[in-house]
Amino acid sequence: MTTAPSQHWTAVCSLTDILPGTGVCALVADRHIAIFRLAGDELYAIDNIDPRSGASVLSRGLVGNLGDQLVVASPLYKNHFDLRTGACLETPEHSVRSYPVRLSGDSVMVASG
Amino acid sequence: MKILLIGHGMVGHKFLEELAQLRQPGTEVTVLCEEPRAAYDRVHLSEFFAGKSADDLSLVAPGFFEDSGFTLRLNTRAVAIDRRARTVTTAGGEVLPYDKLVIATGSVPFVPPVQGNDRADCFVYRTIEDLEAMTAAGARSRSGVVVGGGLLGLECAKALRDLGLETHVVEFAPRLMAVQVDDDGGRILRGKIEELGVRVHTGRNTLEITDGARARHRMVFADGSHLEADMIVFSAGIRPQDILARQNALAVGARGGIAVDDQCRSSDPDIYAIGECAAWRDQLFGLVAPGYDMARVAARHITGQTEVAFGGADMSTKLKLMGVDVASIGDAQGRTPDSRSFRYMDECKRIYKKIVVSADGKQLLGAVLVGNADEYGTLLQMALNRIALPADPEFLILPASDGKAKPGLGVDALPDSAQICSCNNVSKGELCAAVAGGATTLGALKACTKAGATCGGCVPLVTQVMKAEMARLGMAVNNHLCEHFPYSRQELFHLIKVGGIKSFGELIARHGKGLGCDICKPTAASIFASCWNEFVLKQELASLQDSNDYFLGNIQKDGTYSVVPRMPGGEVTPDGLIAVGQVAKKYGLYTKVTGGARVDMFGARLEQLPAIWEELIAAGFESGHAYGKSLRTVKSCVGSTWCRYGVGDSVGLAVELENRYKGLRAPHKIKFGVSGCTRECAEAQGKDVGVIATEKGWNLYVCGNGGMKPRHAELLASDLDKETLVRLIDRFLMFYVRTADRLQRTSTWRDNLEGGLDYLKNVVVQDSLGLAAELEAQMAHVVATYQCEWKTAVTSPEVRKRFRTFVNDGRPDARIVFVEERGQIRPARAEERPAAMADSTTEMAV
């Protein structure tokens, strides 16, 4: 993983705050960031705001896989976002940012840069 | 050319329709109709008693005579033909010329020549006027007798029963439907009919009808016994109405009827005869389909298509008499020399099936089906197309066991010309063409070909043809739920139920692959809920739930949720309304009364939901499950409690039903309606389950829908007591829950159900699959384990913790902004947001 020197890591919650297989939304420097915990405690972070509706909801979508891609389905219009890149599978112009996220001890850390 | 048609019945009108379609210029068409009304559907005459009006039964499309330019003369009887002058004289003395004359006078009911057959309150069953007279007499009668236990006689018995009379059927032959069924079939049929409260007297020869002692009439039989009743209806067969032919020296058939050739011409080439009044090679046809064929042939021949020919007709029939399936194919009696038969009889369920095969066992010659006629379509095709029988033909009629499928027809064996749907005359070739054109679901195929859209009896066969053609064209018949499970929803349901699987982890490990997705996770969650009914937000289940189920609310476009407390049957106390109002006011929610007769509150932020629900629960409310694929509402009218027309307590029943089925998870949402009388103010026939009060109980309708594709619900069973009603709804719902596809409403499910309404009735009402007890037990489990999800959620700190906007910050989502409209909030539109957000920031700062 390439980490820009300017990257600033913020602790947002403990791992147990996220139910396995679901996401939560963190407020990091005025950004709404969706953080997902998959089975095996892998963590992923993308923007929480769904570009199509402008609503802050992506963390409330269902996660899973489509082929090789790990995805979340927007709870509003069911379009899928790649958890690793934030790319929107159905309409690429609606893609969102992804963020580095890691576990430090029990603490979930996200880099909002 | 002047064409004169005598008789405007079903066949006469079909002739006119054909003629209109052929658009022959220079023809002048006149129709003489002795009845006071134009052609109507005599096949469905008994529906007149079930509430259909004469208009409903009319066969004449609006504007038909205006558009075609044909002249219809009602109340005009033809009394004589002058073949030399080529004229017809009417009862009024008018003389009408013709170039071609078509006789479609149909038949007259046969009234046995017994003393007293012309007494008052003795009827025949043929015209709407007969029915009107019967209805009038029914009102002043307690009992009625139908003379004749054939097809029409039993139809007529149903009519008398519908009039509320003690009903008897008297038959001269030793069994009912002597022409179509054999002795054993007749006995099963008799049992079925008697079960329905009709008393059957076979082998009775009526000698005379005299005054009765306890009723208006007494029928005296040859064996010395007698039967008393207030009204008598003769329905002992029909005779061709061929009097005009006899008077004018036209040839008649050996058993009567105007003798016609293959072009439907009588012995006078300018006179045609079609329908029940015609005799083709000495055969008479009392069914409508051959009559229609004759009408087609005659119309074409008159307009110059000389190559057309009538080729006789198959007299196989399938019908439903008082809800009992009866079918007869080909040589039902086994009269072919050396033919052999296979029989299956179930005296408990009252089912009888027989097939007659050729001496070498290779061909199906005939069949009789009573009580269940599911195999009719397959057997008919086998007989008509002379398809070689399988090695063990008995399996064609034996009930399927151990999940073994019945031997199919092998639709590949059918020629393209084979008629699959006889109601709408759709051939195998036409079906295949539609499949190739993209109609690859049963629903789509029905919509574009109309096959299976009328009686539905051919739907299993239509499905077979569709699947075979798809396979032939290399189209994948893939009903897999998604890439994670190579199963349909129905198969997955079975795997979960039989395997006792209660978690997604176990399910995917045993039967799937990958992580799952937004298709299979909610589907599995729904099936788990239908089977085991555990709390949907418990740890292992929560991550499977769609956002709406996860937060027990309906997500709106701005990420807020709506809140809908249950108001069973739409009933709510003033205190309840006040409590709802207070909550809405306190949390600043937008309120609206929904189409499902309850109150919806919009604009609740995630973190507000538990507190809002705590207050609603304290006021006595429960979750309304507006967010779930589950029972939504039971809409009701006010019913007999207040309404001056009501005959049943619709609100009481609606409340009871809503409380019974609340929380039931299903493939899609389910809506009910209960109306207190036939005025149907609750619009129950537009619901998945509709109940309408009758004088004798409740009628149950199913598979209706409003919404995107409206569908009228169909009558599943009538005049039920409440206990039976609930039992049938239990079975119906669970059968739907088990077998429907994901997100398939009952209406689409029904449209795609092989076997159609008859099949559904068989499964739900007659328990043909032997599933009823299991379905009821499963429903009993769901009912017994109901919990208000919101109550469980707000009392569990672990669950309650999930209702927060930010995991790391207690503030609300500042992006949610409202503006005011008509005195309430609504989400700000994009262009309103900057100003609204500035306002709300100021407010926060203050």
pLDDT confidence bin for B408, thresholds 50/70/90: low
Residue A23 and residue A63: Cα distance in Å, rounded?
Answer: 8
**CB spacing of A25 vs B542 below 8 angstroms:** no
State the DSSP string of B74-117.
Answer: TT--EEEEETTTTEEEETTS-EEE-SEEEE---EEE-----BTT
Residue A1 maps to a domain: no
**CB spacing of B557 vs A22 below 8 angstroms:** no
pLDDT above 70 as % of chain B: 97
**CB spacing of B550 vs A25 below 8 angstroms:** no
pLDDT, residue B423, reads 67
B659/chain A closest Cα distance in angstroms: 29
Task: With beta carbons under 8 A apart, name residues in chain A contacting B830.
Answer: 54
Q: Is residue A55 less than 8 Å (CB to CB) from chain B?
A: yes
Residue B813 and residue B807: Cα distance in Å, rounded?
Answer: 12
State the average pLDDT over residues B666-685. Answer: 95
Residue B211: count other Cβ atoms within 10 Å of its Cβ: 11
pLDDT confidence bin for B587, thresholds 50/70/90: very high
The three-state DSSP-derived secondary structure of B194-227 is HHCCEEEECCCCEEEEEECCCCCEEEEECCCCEE
pLDDT at B843 over 60: no
Residue A4 maps to a domain: no
Mean pLDDT for chain A overall: 92
Q: Which of A55, A62, A67 is the closest to B558 by Cβ?
A: A55
Q: What is the CA radius of gyration of chain A?
A: 13
For residue B237, give every residue at least 6 positions away whose Cβ sits within 8 Å of its Cβ, in sequence order, or none.
B109, B110, B148, B150, B152
Question: What would the pLDDT profile of A22-75 be if each residue is shown by its tens digit?
Answer: 999 999 988 999 999 998 889 999 999 999 999 999 999 999 999 999 999 999
- What residue type is assigned to position B731 of the chain? R
Q: B122-236: what fold? A: FAD/NAD(P)-binding domain (3.50.50)
State the DSSP string of B704-746.
Answer: -B-SSS-B--EEEEEEE-HHHHHHHHHHHHHHHHHHSPTT--H
**B677 assigned binding-site residue:** yes
pLDDT at B845 over 50: no
pLDDT at B46 over 90: no
What percent of chain B is helix, strand and coil (3-state, nearest 5)? 35, 20, 45
CA-to-CA dists, residue B631 to B452, B527, B653, B702, B708, angstroms? 30, 15, 15, 14, 19
Q: B629-787: what fold? A: Sulfite Reductase Hemoprotein; domain 1 (3.30.413)
Q: Is residue B546 less than 8 Å (CB to CB) from chain A?
A: yes
pLDDT at B846 over 50: no
Q: Is residue B841 less than 8 Å (CB to CB) from chain A?
A: no
Residue B307 and residue B297: Cα distance in Å, rounded?
Answer: 9
Please choose, from the candidates B200, B223, B96, the residue with its C-alpha nearest in 3D space to the C-alpha of residue B154.
B200
Task: With beta carbons under 8 A apart, name residues in chain B contacting A39.
Answer: 515
Question: What would the pLDDT profile of B522-560 be if each residue is shown by its tens digit?
Answer: 999 999 999 999 999 998 899 999 999 999 999 999 999
Please choose, from the candidates B411, B536, B527, B534, the residue with its C-alpha nearest in 3D space to the C-alpha of residue B461.
B411
pLDDT at B320 over 90: no
pLDDT at B841 over 60: no
Residue A96 maps to a domain: yes
**CB spacing of B546 vs A70 below 8 angstroms:** no
pLDDT, residue B473, reads 85
pLDDT at B844 over 90: no
As beta bridge partners, residue B199 has B168
Is-contact B384 B417, C-beta < 8 A?
no
User: Domain coordinates of chain B in residue numbers?
Assistant: 2-108+240-302, 122-236, 546-623+788-811, 629-787, 814-846
- A-chain residue closest to B482, CA distance: A66
Residue B204 and residue B188: Cα distance in Å, rounded?
Answer: 19
Q: Please report the sign of the dihedral spanned by the C-alpha atoms of residue B35, residue B39, residue B44, residue B47.
A: negative
Residue with tokens 């003795």, as numbered in its chain: B122
Task: With beta carbons under 8 A apart, name residues in chain A contacting B559.
Answer: 53, 55-57, 60, 76
pLDDT confidence bin for B409, thresholds 50/70/90: low
Q: Is residue A71 less than 8 Å (CB to CB) from chain B?
A: yes
Q: What is the length of chain B?
A: 846
pLDDT at B402 over 60: no
Q: Which of B484, B546, B559 is the closest to A57 by Cβ?
A: B559
Domain B2-108+240-302 matches domain B629-787 at the CATH topology level: no
- What residue type is assigned to position B799 of the chain? V
Is-contact B834 B841, C-beta < 8 A?
no
The angle formed by the CA atoms of residues B156, B160 and B162, to the nearest 5 degrees, is 110
Determine phi and psi for B90, rounding to 5 degrees.
Answer: -95, 170
Q: Is residue B540 less than 8 Å (CB to CB) from chain A?
A: no
Q: Which of B516, B539, B550 is the closest to A60 by Cβ?
A: B550
**CB spacing of A64 vs B557 below 8 angstroms:** no
Residues 814-833 of B with CB under 8 A from A: 815, 830
pLDDT above 90 as % of chain B: 68
pLDDT confidence bin for B589, thresholds 50/70/90: very high
Q: Which of A27, A62, A66 is the closest to B809 by Cβ?
A: A27
Q: Which of A19, A55, A67 is the closest to B559 by Cβ?
A: A55
For residue B53, give every residue at least 6 positions away whose Cβ sits within 8 Å of its Cβ, in sequence order, or none.
none
Residue B809 and residue B684: Cα distance in Å, rounded?
Answer: 48
What is the extent of the structural domain holding A89? Answer: 17-111
What ipTM describes this predicted complex?
0.94
Which has more confidence, A6 or B55? B55
Report residue B123 as tokens. Answer: 């009827």
For residue B744, give every residue at least 6 positions away whose Cβ sits within 8 Å of its Cβ, in sequence order, or none.
B667, B668, B752
pLDDT at A1 over 70: no
pLDDT confidence bin for B637, thresholds 50/70/90: very high
Is-contact B236 B148, C-beta < 8 A?
yes
Q: Is residue A78 less than 8 Å (CB to CB) from chain B?
A: yes
pLDDT, residue A6, reads 57
Residue B566 and residue B550: Cα distance in Å, rounded?
Answer: 18
State the average pLDDT over residues B786-803. Answer: 95
Task: With beta carbons under 8 A apart, name residues in chain B contacting A61.
Answer: 518, 547
For residue B392, give every residue at least 6 positions away whose Cβ sits within 8 Å of its Cβ, in sequence order, or none.
B407
Q: Which of B550, B557, B811 is the closest to A53 by Cβ?
A: B557
pLDDT confidence bin for B13, thresholds 50/70/90: very high
User: A30 in the Ramachandran plot: left (φ > 0), alpha (ψ -120 to 50) or beta?
Assistant: left
B612/chain A closest Cα distance in angstroms: 20
Report residue A71 as tokens. Answer: 């995805």
Q: B2-108+240-302: what fold? A: FAD/NAD(P)-binding domain (3.50.50)
pLDDT, residue B404, reads 47
Please choose, from the candidates B445, B192, B169, the residue with its C-alpha nearest in 3D space to the C-alpha of residue B323.
B192
Overall domain count for chain A: 1
Question: What would the pLDDT profile of B114-133 be if each residue is shown by its tens digit?
Answer: 999 999 999 999 888 898 89
pLDDT at A12 over 70: yes
**Least confident stretch, B234-243, B384-393, B647-656, B785-794:** B384-393
pLDDT at B400 over 90: no
Beta strand ranges found along B117-222 (DSSP E): 122-124, 143-147, 166-170, 198-201, 206-211, 217-221
**B33 assigned binding-site residue:** no
Mean pLDDT for chain B overall: 90
pLDDT, residue B613, reads 98
Q: Please report the sign of the dihedral spanned by the C-alpha atoms of residue B133, residue B135, residue B139, residue B142.
A: positive
Is-contact B325 B373, C-beta < 8 A?
yes
pLDDT at B308 over 70: yes
Task: With beta carbons under 8 A apart, name residues in chain A contacting B550.
Answer: 22, 60
**CB spacing of B515 vs A27 below 8 angstroms:** no
State the average pLDDT over residues B290-306. Answer: 92
**B681 assigned binding-site residue:** yes
The CATH number of the domain holding residue A71 is: 2.102.10.10
Q: B546-623+788-811: what fold? A: Sulfite Reductase Hemoprotein; domain 2 (3.90.480)
Residue B219 and residue B459: Cα distance in Å, rounded?
Answer: 45
**Least confident stretch, B244-248, B417-421, B678-682:** B417-421
Q: Which of B542, B546, B807 is the closest to A17 by Cβ?
A: B807
Residue with tokens 């008082």, as numbered in its chain: B322
